[in-house]
C-alpha cells in the first residue's frame, strides 16, 4: 500500500484544481481527481495550495551553520532551510585561498554523494572583479586559467553545479571548458559591459548572479550585464528578494522583463534564522544587525539572512502573481541546473512538497515523502 495520500489539495500548476497526490517510497506515484486510492496515511489539505518544494541554487548557510565549516555544518544548514521549504539546495562558497576552497568543495561533494537533496556546490569566487567584489577579499581575487579549471573539476567529481565569475577576467576557453565539464557558468561580481556580458552568454554562460548586486547598474547609454541577460532567452536571472538587496519595484521589473527566467535565491549565510552577531564568510567576518549582514567600514552587503518562503512572500508582495513567484522558487532554478525532475508536481518526481496558507506561509513540508516540521518564523 502507498505511504501517503494527500487529498483535497489545490495542486500548483494545474490551475489550482482540487485533487489528490499519492506518495510512495519518496516519490509522487499518481495525481488525480475523484475516487481516491487507499494509502497507509492520509493528509487532508482542506483546499490549501500544495506546491513543489523550493530549489535554492545559491546559499552559503543558515541556522547558525556555514557551508564552509565541514560536512556536519553543511547538513545542518540544509536541514534549516528544509524547515523553510527548501527541499533541494546548492551550497555556495565565498572566495578563500584556493587550497581551502578546494577542500570545502570536496566536503560538499562528499555530502552530496550521500544525500542527493544537496545538489552540489557553487563557487562564488575567486574569479571576480575587484571593482565589484562585495564581501570577497580583494587580495584573493584572480583570473582563471585552464589549469585551475581542470583542478577544480577534478576535485568536484561532478558536484560543481555553478561558478560565478567576472567574464572580463576569463581568458578564451575558460567558460567553454567549465560548460563542457557540466558546470553552469554565472556572470557576477563583474565590471563587464553589456557587450562583454553578452559575449559570455554567447560562449555558454547561462546565469546572472544576484541581479543588480555586484555589477554595474542600469544606465540608458550603458545597460550593463542585467540587460545583456535579458536579451538572451537562455539566461536565468537570480534575484535576492529580501527587500534589502533589490527594491520590490526593481524585482517586479525583472519579472516583467524575463518571465519564466527568474530564479529566487537566498544567498543566505549562517546568520539566517540565527541571532544578530558576527558570522564567518569566506575570508571575512560578517556583522549582522537587524537581520542585515555587512562587512567592513564600507558596509558592503554580505549575503543575506533570507529564507525561500520569505522570498516568495516578498515577490508576491511586489505585485507578482503567486504562480510566477512560486515557479521562480521551484521549476525555474531546477531547470537551470538541468534537474527538470525537481520543482514539479508529476508522477515520478520526488515527493518534495510544501503546503501554503492563504497568506503564503508554510503549514506543511514533505521531503522525499517524509514530513518536516515547518519553522515557526521566517
Q: Residue 15 in 3-state DSSP?
A: coil
pTM here?
0.96
Q: What is the pLDDT of residues 314-366, one digit of tens each?
A: 999 999 999 999 999 999 999 999 999 999 999 999 999 999 999 999 999 99
Backbone angles phi, psi at 200, to 5 degrees: -60, -40
Q: What is the pLDDT of residues 123-164, one digit of tens each?
A: 999 999 999 988 888 999 999 999 999 999 999 999 999 999
Q: Bridge-partner residues for 120, per DSSP?
A: 90
Q: Residue 209 in 3-state DSSP?
A: coil
Who's near 247: CB < 8 A, 6+ residues apart? none
DSSP conformation letters of 212-254: TTTS----SS--HHHHHHHH-TT-EEEEE-SSSSS-HHHHHHH
Q: Are 194 and 227 in contact (CB under 8 A)?
A: yes
Long-range contacts of 252-256 (CB under 8 A, 24+ apart): 252/318, 252/319, 252/320, 254/211, 254/226, 255/315, 255/318, 255/320, 255/324, 255/328
CA distance 66 to 74: 7
What sign results for the dihedral spanned by CA atoms 106, 111, 116, 117?
A: negative
All domains of the chain in start order, with CATH:
4-51+345-372 (2.30.40.10), 53-336 (3.20.20.140)
Q: Catalytic annotation on 15?
A: no
Alpha-carbon distances, residue 71 vs 65, 67, 99 (angstroms)? 10, 8, 17
Length of the chain counted residue by residue: 378
Q: Taking phi first (over 0 means left), then psi (-120 to 50 degrees means alpha), and beta for anything else, what does residue 284 get?
A: beta
Q: From the candidates 267, 276, 278, 290, which is the catalytic residue?
A: 267
Backbone angles phi, psi at 220, to 5 degrees: -65, -20
How far is C-alpha 182 from the geometric centre of its chain's CA atoms? 18
Q: Residue 258 in 3-state DSSP?
A: coil
CA distance 233 to 206: 9
Q: Taking phi first (over 0 means left), then psi (-120 to 50 degrees means alpha), and beta for anything else, what does residue 145 get?
A: beta
For each of the chain's 378 residues, which pLDDT tens digit applies?
A: 899 999 999 999 877 679 999 999 999 999 999 999 999 999 999 999 999 999 999 999 999 999 999 999 999 999 999 999 999 999 999 999 999 999 999 999 999 999 999 999 999 999 999 999 888 889 999 999 999 999 999 999 999 999 999 999 999 999 999 999 999 999 999 999 999 999 999 999 999 999 999 999 989 999 999 999 999 999 999 999 999 999 999 999 999 999 999 999 999 999 999 999 888 777 778 888 988 988 876 678 888 999 999 999 999 999 999 999 999 999 999 999 999 999 999 999 999 999 999 999 999 999 999 999 999 754
Amino acid at each position: 500500500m502507498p505511504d501517503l495520500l494527500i487529498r483535497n489539495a489545490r495542486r500548483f500548476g494545474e490551475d489550482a484544481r482540487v485533487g489528490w497526490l499519492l506518495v510512495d517510497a519518496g516519490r509522487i506515484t499518481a495525481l488525480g481527481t475523484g475516487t481516491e486510492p487507499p494509502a497507509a496515511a492520509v493528509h487532508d489539505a482542506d483546499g490549501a495550495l500544495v506546491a513543489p518544494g523550493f530549489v535554492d541554487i545559491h546559499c552559503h548557510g543558515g541556522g547558525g551553520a556555514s557551508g564552509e565549516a565541514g560536512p556536519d555544518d553543511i547538513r545542518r544548514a540544509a536541514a534549516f532551510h528544509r524547515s523553510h521549504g527548501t527541499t533541494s539546495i546548492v551550497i555556495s562558497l565565498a572566495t578563500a585561498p584556493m587550497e581551502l576552497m578546494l577542500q570545502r568543495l570536496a566536503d560538499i561533494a562528499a555530502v552530496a554523494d550521500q544525500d542527493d537533496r544537496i545538489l552540489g556546490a557553487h563557487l562564488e569566487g575567486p574569479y571576480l572583479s575587484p571593482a565589484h567584489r562585495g564581501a570577497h577579499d580583494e587580495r584573493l581575487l584572480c583570473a582563471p586559467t585552464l589549469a585551475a579549471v581542470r583542478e577544480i573539476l577534478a576535485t568536484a567529481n561532478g558536484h560543481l553545479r555553478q561558478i560565478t565569475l567576472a567574464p572580463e577576467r576569463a581568458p578564451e576557453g575558460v567558460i567553454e571548458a567549465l560548460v563542457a565539464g557540466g558546470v553552469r557558468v554565472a556572470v557576477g561580481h563583474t565590471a563587464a559591459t553589456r557587450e562583454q556580458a553578452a559575449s559570455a552568454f554567447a560562449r555558454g554562460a547561462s546565469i546572472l548572479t544576484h541581479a543588480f548586486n555586484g555589477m554595474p547598474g542600469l544606465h540608458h547609454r550603458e545597460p550593463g550585464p542585467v540587460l545583456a541577460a535579458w536579451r538572451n532567452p537562455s539566461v536565468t536571472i537570480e534575484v535576492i528578494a529580501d527587500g534589502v538587496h533589490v527594491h520590490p519595484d526593481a524585482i517586479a521589473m525583472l519579472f516583467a522583463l524575463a518571465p519564466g527566467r527568474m530564479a529566487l535565491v537566498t544567498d543566505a549565510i549562517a546568520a539566517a534564522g540565527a541571532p544578530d552577531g558576527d558570522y564567518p564568510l569566506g575570508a571575512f567576518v560578517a556583522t549582522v544587525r537587524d537581520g542585515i549582514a555587512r562587512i567592513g567600514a564600507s558596509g558592503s552587503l554580505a549575503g543575506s539572512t533570507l529564507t525561500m518562503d520569505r522570498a516568495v512572500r516578498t515577490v508576491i508582495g511586489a505585485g507578482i502573481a503567486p504562480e510566477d513567484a512560486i515557479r521562480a522558487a521551484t521549476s525555474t532554478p531546477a531547470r537551470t541546473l538541468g534537474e527538470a525532475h525537481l520543482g514539479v508536481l508529476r508522477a515520478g518526481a520526488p515527493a518534495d512538497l510544501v503546503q501554503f496558507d492563504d497568506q503564503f506561509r508554510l503549514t506543511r513540508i514533505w521531503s522525499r515523502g517524509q514530513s518536516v516540521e515547518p519553522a515557526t518564523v521566517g
